[in-house]
Structures are given as structure tokens and as C-alpha cells.
């Protein structure tokens, strides 16, 4: 079973005399353990100073992946008798943190009296799919550990729905049929032993048959309106009954009241996207009907009470799932996003368009070329040519063009369009509130179009996938999808300020700090330039322990939002030309970073699992062995440079190396002693032969550090 440490011993004897044969490193004993394409590291002890163990080889390794393992044991180039040995390791028991629902949602709508199907994927602590093939007792014992708890929202009374469990071995999935006999709003917890499984706590709304038909009709007519009582809005509680109307459509939720019964007045509007959360208060003893809470992180929470609260929430859940493709997981939303953006631009041809740009003036020349481009032009398939250089663009030059533009735009050391809140080399970048005179808002609009271009290209498939090499602040990403910024963003975006000021104010008494709702701004020499009021009349409002969180939020609005509002608006304007804002809003800020920037983190094990070796000569086998030894010792920067040298980009698709197209290739080069070369169009690294490891390592480091730009080495 996975999770165990496995040890085995090999005894060596002389062929004819059958006497124990003392082994040593000179005997070239090799033990290779493989599970699929993965090579498993093992601790190997060859021989011993004790005479009774001098002929023994001991190997120890830990099993983390379920499946069939092949163990090759060779003496020199000759396999020992019985090699390779095959061993199968079963997955471990289900783990609640790894077990998850398929296509999970925070709110499930069903019909009372009719079973609703949920799909569960049991996995062990290492992420292996659980399997009990030919082990009926073990299967029953494991499945008996799962349970489904339910309670009524509002009263917290325990409810016992009818639950049927069915294990499908071929799918590695557990089918759960849940039936509520009565209409209502229920909280549900799926548990393994005493722990709630991953994303296993959610609400279920059981509608009557007539109510289910009513909600379906609302989806067809694309609008529904419900009467409700307003309890809280704009941070204020309403003690008296205030009748308002909850209107929902595929794009938004609108709260309205009618003055004199005929004049509509809009009180609040929420976008219909995952950032908007619609939940129920668990205990509503003071209210006759369920209390619905609406929040989106961009404005104050709204609380409503209505006998139709379940219909309001059900309509929201149906519209939301339709807007995001039916699932709240990133992978499913990403697929839906790509599908919708292709549909949005389906009438625009993806024909080739040659762009001749200057490497030394990459931003200026690119902006000049695209100045009069329409949206259709931005959707075309660019072929890049660097003026004064040779090289045909089969995709590698286009990726390099994107990479160079990202450096010119987003690297704080270049144009000054973006900056960081600290001098730390790993600091995140944010639009520059003090942009140089040479920078204009049109630069931010171009940057937005570039990001939109990359997202559109990525939707066309792995061959065209483009990623942005940048590490944006969370507050900037949040503004792109319309979220309201609060002081908690400082912890991630501006750690020095958070640790020196924000955290102290948050955790301590501020009565003696003599703070007001203002912010002093200084120049680079420390001279006071001006004092900014964070709210109207802020100089006259003291910060105390009651309003300190309002002060911190106002400070976040000033430093992270208001100071760069024009820059962000220009960026969004450019981005919106290629990507509709309703599509971006299906992601949160962390998912948006993954979508736009991918990930640059990858391991040697991942590289070994997702590469193709081209060459079989003994010389190449020696060199590729040196290559793995070298990259095992690389740091993160060298790994990024190696990736950039080989593929033209230091960022990976969201799925890592497994999604890289074409697949990473390591090929033999018919040369001796020269520098390694790369064909970025084909993600191919070519390795010549060398006299020894030291020469190879030196040449590889020179190539990836000094040959990462241009086609001079190809």
C-alpha cells in the first residue's frame, strides 16, 4: 500500500562455487525503480564491512503513487536473474482533505421527493484515486466511513434525508443520491469519519415541483422579480419594515424600491458572478422568514428577509452556474472561458499578419505598428520579425516578442509603468502612481490589449498559448474583475507597510496614536509634499478603536486604488476590447493570475515525466545523465532561465509542463564541445557531446544565462 517504506535485499554469489560474492562500488551495480514515466529515488547500500553482509545490496524507497512498479537490477550491463521485478502497490484509504466533489458548487438546487445526484472522488493522502477492486470487505469498510449530515437553515434542526451510496469502480467515483422529502433550505455536510471532505459543506434548496417549474421559467424569460423585506444596507440596519424588490437577470441582481408605489429607485446592484456570494443566515429566530445575505467584496453587505428567499437563491444559483459553465472549479471555468472567448471572436479571421519590430525599441515600435489596429487586427495571427535579424517565426519569435514586451512594460526597472512597494527582488508589481513623464495612459491601454491578445491566443489551443511574464499585486488583479479593495490586501501586496503599521493598528489600542483620516505624502528625499484626506473632512476626524477598520480600508482605497485609478481604467479599457468583463469576472484574483500568467514553478521530476529524449547513442545517454545531474542542482532562477532558453518563455501554462505544446524535447546535437542550442518553436534543447561533466555544466550555464535572447545560437 502507498505510504509505506519498502526495503529489499539482493544477495550475490559466485557463479560456479556458489560462495558469497563481496560486492563494492566497482561492480557497477545499478538499481532503477520506475512507476510509469516516473523514476523513483532509492537509498542503496552496497556491501558491508561485516563479512556476513558483504554480498548484500540493500535498497529502500517510499511509495507515494499507486500502480505498477518496475525494479531493474543490473550488474554492469547484465540484469540479474528475474530482473525486472514487478510489484503493484494499492492506493491508501480515503483522505478527507484530498477527497472532493466533482464539479462542486456552494449551492445545490433540487426538487423535493426526487433524488439529486452528487459525485464524489475518494482519494488517499497522496492524491491517488481510491480503488477496492477484488476487495469487497475493504470497500464496504471504507464506504461505511462516509456520511451525509443535514440541518434546516434558520432553525438548525437536524434533518435526515434519504441517502443512497453507490461505488463505481471503473470511474473511481462514489455516486450519492440525496432526497429531501420536504421543501426547504438545508445545510449539508459530507463527512469522512469525523472530518468534512474538501468542498463538502454547502447549501441545498429543495423546491416543490411547482417552484422548480417557476425557476425554470425565469431562466427562459431571463428575468425574475421577488418581493422582500430589507434588513441591512450600506452598513445600516432597518428596524422598520422596508419593502423592496429583488430583480435578477443573467447579468445582475438589482434591489429597487418604488416611491409612491410607481417611481422606481435603485438601491444596490450586484454583478452575477462568483465574486457575488448569496448565503443564508443559519439562525434567524428574530425573523419570520429566512434571511438572505448578499455580498461581493466591492460594497456593503445586504440582508433581506422573504418567504421567497429560497426561490431568490435558487434563481441566483441557476444563473451563476450557467454563466460559469456549470462548475466552480478553476479547470472547468478555464475551459468555459476559452470556449466563450472563441465564440465571441468567431467571426474574426485568425489570418497571419507580419509585424517587423525593433528589438532595442520593442515597446515603442510595437505601439507604433498597432496604433491604428482594430479589434479584428488584434485577433490575427502575428508573425514577428526582428529588424536586422534572421529567423523564421514558427511560434518561437512570437513568444519572444511577448516576453520582451512584458519586460518593457511590467518590469519596474524599465519603462516605469509599473512599480513595487518595496525593493525586494520578489516584490509584486502595481501600476505606478508616479509614472514618469514619458509614460502615458495609452501605454496602459496597450498593456491591456496585450494581455487580452494573450488570453485570446490561449483559447485557440496549446499551440498558440501565450502567457504574461509578470507577478501582479492581488489588489491590481482584483480591480480588473471589479472587486472592492480593503486593507487586507496590504499583507500580500505591501508586506513592509502591513508589518510596520497595518498589523499594529489592527491588533492594538490606537487611542494614543493621534491619527486622523489623512495620509502624508513625501518625495524621495523625505520632504512632505502634501496631506491627503482619506474621506471628506478627514483632517477633523480622529481614528479610534471603533472606526480604525474604516480608516484602514480608506487607506487601502487611497494607496491601492485612487492613486492609480486612471492607469487601471486605461488598462481595463484595452483589455475589454478583446475580453468581455463578464467573462473575466467568473474568476477570483488568484485564479485570474493563474489564467493570465500561468506558473513558472516546475520540478526536475515533472521535467523528467513530461519530456521526450531524441537520441539513443551511448554518448548521448552519458550527456543526458549529466544534464539531469546538473538541473537537479539548479536554483529557481536557473530553472526559469533553462525554461526560457528552451521554450522562449520563463512561464508555463496553468497545467505546468504537462500542457506544454509541443512537448519538451531533449535531443542529441552532432557537435562536440560547442554550446547547447535551442529551437524555441519546437521546445527543443539540443545537447552536444563533451569530454567530461565539468565542461558540459559550464557550457549549459553559459547558454542559458547568455543565450536566452535572439536566435544567435540556433
42: its cell numbers: 532509492
Residue 327's φ and ψ, nearest 5 degrees, are: -150, 155
State the pLDDT confidence band at 266, using cuts at 50, 70 and 90: confident
Question: How far is 571 from 443, CA to CA, in rounded Å?
Answer: 8
Q: Which residues contact 693 (CB under 8 A, 6 or more apart)?
A: 626, 629
Query: Could you tell me the pTM of the whole model?
Result: 0.70
103: its cell numbers: 464539479
List for the chain the helix, strand, coil content (%; round to 5): 35, 30, 40
Question: How far is 592 from 587, CA to CA, in rounded Å?
Answer: 6
Residue range of the domain that includes 12: 5-89
Q: Is residue 329 part of a domain?
A: no
287 and 141 co-located in one domain? no
52 and 125 co-located in one domain? no
179 and 225 co-located in one domain? no
Q: What is the mean pLDDT of the chain?
A: 87
Q: Is residue 409 part of a domain?
A: yes
pLDDT digits (tens, 9 = 90+) for 614-652: 988 988 998 998 888 788 777 776 787 788 788 766 567
State the pLDDT confidence band at 694, using cuts at 50, 70 and 90: confident
543 and 616 co-located in one domain? no
Helix (H, G, I), strand (E, B) or coil at 552: helix
Q: Is residue 452 part of a domain?
A: yes
Which of 143, 177, 207 is the last residue in one of the domains?
207
CA 141 to chain CA centroid, nearest Å: 35
The DSSP line for 215-229 is HHHHHHHT-EEEEEE
pLDDT digits (tens, 9 = 90+) for 33-67: 888 877 777 777 888 888 888 999 988 877 878 88
The set of catalytic residues is 681
Q: Residue 271: which CATH number?
A: 2.30.29.140
185 and 53 co-located in one domain? no
pLDDT digits (tens, 9 = 90+) for 428-451: 889 999 889 889 999 999 999 999
Question: How far is 646 from 571, CA to CA, in rounded Å?
Answer: 31
Q: Is residue 64 part of a domain?
A: yes
Residue written as grid cell 462548475: 327
514 and 657 co-located in one domain? no
145 and 12 co-located in one domain? no
pLDDT digits (tens, 9 = 90+) for 558-592: 999 999 999 999 999 999 999 988 888 888 888 88
27 and 62 co-located in one domain? yes
Q: Is residue 16 part of a domain?
A: yes
67 and 149 co-located in one domain? no
Is the preceding omega at residue 84 within 30 degrees of 0, hence cis? yes
Q: Based on the structure, what is the number of domains in the chain?
A: 5
Helix (H, G, I), strand (E, B) or coil at 445: helix
List residues bridging with 175 in a β-sheet. 119, 166
269 torsion bin: left (phi>0), alpha (psi -120 to 50), beta (else) = beta
- Residue 712: the pLDDT is 34
581 and 619 co-located in one domain? no
Question: How far is 696 from 494, CA to CA, in rounded Å?
Answer: 42
Question: How far is 584 from 482, CA to CA, in rounded Å?
Answer: 10
Q: Is residue 676 part of a domain?
A: yes
Say what percent of the chain tops pLDDT 70: 95
Q: Residue 633: which CATH number?
A: 3.30.2410.10
| Number of other residues whose CB lies within 10 A of the CB of residue 393 | 19
Q: Residue 27: which CATH number?
A: 2.60.40.10
For the cut 70, the answer to whether the pLDDT of residue 489 exceeds it is yes
pLDDT digits (tens, 9 = 90+) for 352-367: 999 999 999 999 999 9
Q: Which residues contact 405 (CB under 8 A, 6 or more apart)?
A: 362, 363, 366, 450
Helix (H, G, I), strand (E, B) or coil at 10: strand
Q: Which residues contact 468 (CB under 8 A, 6 or more apart)?
A: 402, 406, 410, 450, 451, 454, 596, 597, 651
- Residue 632: the pLDDT is 76
Residue 303's φ and ψ, nearest 5 degrees, are: -120, 135
Q: Is residue 348 part of a domain?
A: no
CA dihedral 225, 231, 235, 240 (to 10 degrees): 120
For the cut 50, the answer to whether the pLDDT of residue 490 exceeds it is yes
397: closest CA among 450, 367, 357?
Answer: 357
Q: Given the DSSP bridges, would you call strands 85-89 and 107-111 parallel, antiparallel or unpaired?
A: unpaired
The DSSP line for 474-488 is HHHHHHHTTPPP-GG
Is the preceding omega at residue 662 within 30 degrees of 0, hence cis? yes
Q: Is residue 350 part of a domain?
A: no
Which of 138, 172, 207 is the last residue in one of the domains?
207
111 and 248 co-located in one domain? no
479 and 582 co-located in one domain? yes
66: closest CA among 88, 39, 98?
Answer: 88
Which of 89, 117, 149 is the last residue in one of the domains?
89
Convert 252-315 into a string of H (helix), E (strand) and C (coil): EEEEEEEECCCEEEEEEEEECCCCCEEEECCECCCCCCCEEEEECCCCCCEEEECCCHHHHHHH
Tally the residues of the chain: 714
Dihedral sign, Cα of residue 166, residue 171, residue 172, residue 173: negative
Question: How far is 242 from 239, CA to CA, in rounded Å?
Answer: 9
Amino acid at each position: 500500500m502507498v505510504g509505506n517504506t519498502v526495503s529489499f535485499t539482493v544477495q550475490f554469489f559466485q557463479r560456479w562455487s556458489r560462495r558469497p560474492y563481496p560486492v563494492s562500488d566497482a561492480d557497477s551495480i545499478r538499481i532503477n525503480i520506475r512507476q510509469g514515466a516516473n523514476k523513483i529515488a532509492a537509498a542503496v547500500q552496497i556491501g558491508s564491512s561485516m563479512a556476513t553482509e558483504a554480498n548484500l545490496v540493500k535498497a529502500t524507497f517510499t511509495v507515494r503513487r499507486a500502480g505498477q512498479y518496475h525494479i531493474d537490477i543490473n550488474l554492469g550491463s547484465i540484469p540479474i536473474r528475474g530482473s525486472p521485478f514487478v510489484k503493484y502497490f494499492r492506493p491508501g484509504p480515503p483522505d478527507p482533505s484530498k477527497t472532493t466533489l466533482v464539479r462542486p458548487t456552494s449551492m445545490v438546487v433540487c426538487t423535493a421527493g426526487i433524488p439529486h445526484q452528487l459525485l464524489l472522488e475518494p482519494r488517499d493522502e497522496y492524491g491517488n484515486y481510491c480503488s477496492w477492486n477484488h476487495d469487497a470487505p475493504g470497500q464496504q469498510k471504507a464506504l461505511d466511513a462516509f456520511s451525509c449530515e443535514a440541518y434546516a437553515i434558520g432553525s438548525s434542526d437536524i434533518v435526515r434525508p434519504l441517502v443512497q451510496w453507490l461505488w463505481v469502480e471503473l470511474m473511481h467515483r462514489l455516486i450519492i443520491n440525496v432526497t429531501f422529502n420536504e421543501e426547504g433550505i438545508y445545510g449539508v455536510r459530507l463527512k469522512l469519519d469525523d472530518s468534512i471532505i474538501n468542498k463538502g459543506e454547502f447549501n441545498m434548496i429543495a423546491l416543490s415541483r411547482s417552484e422548480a417549474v417557476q425557476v425554470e421559467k425565469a431562466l427562459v424569460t431571463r428575468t425574475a422579480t421577488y418581493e422582500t423585506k430589507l434588513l441591512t444596507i450600506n452598513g445600516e440596519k432597518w428596524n422598520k419594515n422596508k419593502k423592496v424588490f429583488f430583480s435578477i437577470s443573467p447579468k445582475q441582481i438589482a434591489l429597487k424600491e418604488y416611491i409612491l408605489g410607481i417611481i422606481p429607485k435603485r438601491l444596490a446592484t450586484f454583478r452575477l458572478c462568483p465574486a457575488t456570494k448569496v448565503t443564508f443566515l443559519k439562525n434567524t429566530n428574530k425573523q419570520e422568514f429566512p434571511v438572505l445575505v448578499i455580498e461581493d467584496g466591492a460594497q456593503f453587505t445586504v440582508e433581506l428577509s422573504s418567504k421567497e428567499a429560497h426561490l431568490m437563491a435558487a434563481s441566483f444559483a441557476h444563473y451563476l452556474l450557467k454563466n460559469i459553465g456549470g462548475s466552480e472549479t478553476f479547470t472547468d471555468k478555464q475551459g468555459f472561458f476559452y470556449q466563450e472567448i472563441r465564440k465571441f471572436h468567431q467571426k474574426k479571421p485568425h489570418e497571419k499578419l507580419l509585424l517587423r519590430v525593433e528589438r532595442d525599441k520593442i515597446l515603442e515600435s510595437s505601439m507604433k505598428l498597432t496604433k491604428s489596429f482594430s479589434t479584428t487586427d488584434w485577433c490575427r495571427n502575428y508573425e514577428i520579425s526582428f529588424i536586422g535579424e534572421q529567423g523564421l517565426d514558427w511560434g518561437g519569435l512570437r513568444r519572444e516578442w511577448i516576453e520582451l514586451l512584458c519586460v518593457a512594460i511590467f518590469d519596474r526597472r524599465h519603462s516605469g509603468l509599473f512599480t513595487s512597494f518595496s525593493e525586494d527582488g520578489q516584490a509584486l508589481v502595481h501600476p505606478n502612481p508616479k509614472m514618469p513623464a514619458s509614460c502615458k495612459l495609452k501605454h496602459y491601454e496597450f498593456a491591456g490589449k496585450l494581455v487580452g491578445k494573450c488570453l485570446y491566443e490561449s483559447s485557440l489551443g496549446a499551440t498558440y498559448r501565450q502567457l504574461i511574464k509578470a507577478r501582479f499585486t492581488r489588489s491590481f488583479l482584483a480591480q480588473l474583475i471589479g472587486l472592492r479593495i480593503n486593507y487586507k490586501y496590504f499583507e500580500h501586496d505591501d508586506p513592509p507597510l502591513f508589518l510596520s503599521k497595518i498589523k499594529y493598528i489592527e491588533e492594538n489600542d490606537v487611542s494614543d496614536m493621534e491619527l486622523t483620516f489623512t495620509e502624508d505624502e513625501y518625495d524621495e528625499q523625505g520632504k512632505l509634499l502634501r496631506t491627503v484626506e482619506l474621506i471628506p473632512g478627514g483632517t477633523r476626524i480622529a481614528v479610534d478603536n471603533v472606526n480604525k477598520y474604516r480608516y484602514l480600508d480608506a487607506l487601502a482605497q487611497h494607496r491601492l486604488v485612487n492613486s492609480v485609478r486612471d492607469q487601471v481604467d486605461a488598462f481595463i479599457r484595452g483589455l475589454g476590447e478583446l475580453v468581455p468583463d463578464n467573462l473575466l469576472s467568473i474568476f477570483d484574483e488568484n485564479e485570474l493570475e493563474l489564467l493570465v500568467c500561468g506558473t513558472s514553478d516546475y520540478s526536475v521530476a515533472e521535467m523528467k515525466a513530461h519530456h521526450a529524449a531524441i537520441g539513443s547513442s551511448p554518448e548521448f545517454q552519458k550527456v543526458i545523465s549529466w544534464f539531469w545531474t546538473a538541473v537537479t542542482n539548479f536554483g529557481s532562477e536557473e530553472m526559469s532561465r533553462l525554461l526560457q532558453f528552451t521554450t522562449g518563455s520563463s512561464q508555463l501554462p496553468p497545467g505546468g509542463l504537462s500542457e506544454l505544446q509541443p512537448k519538451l524535447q531533449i535531443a542529441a546535437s552532432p557537435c562536440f564541445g560547442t554550446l547547447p542550442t535551442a529551437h524555441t518553436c519546437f521546445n527543443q534543447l539540443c545537447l552536444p557531446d563533451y569530454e567530461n561533466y565539468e565542461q558540459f555544466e559550464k557550457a549549459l550555464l553559459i547558454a542559458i544565462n547568455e543565450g536566452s535572447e535572439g536566435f544567435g545560437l540556433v
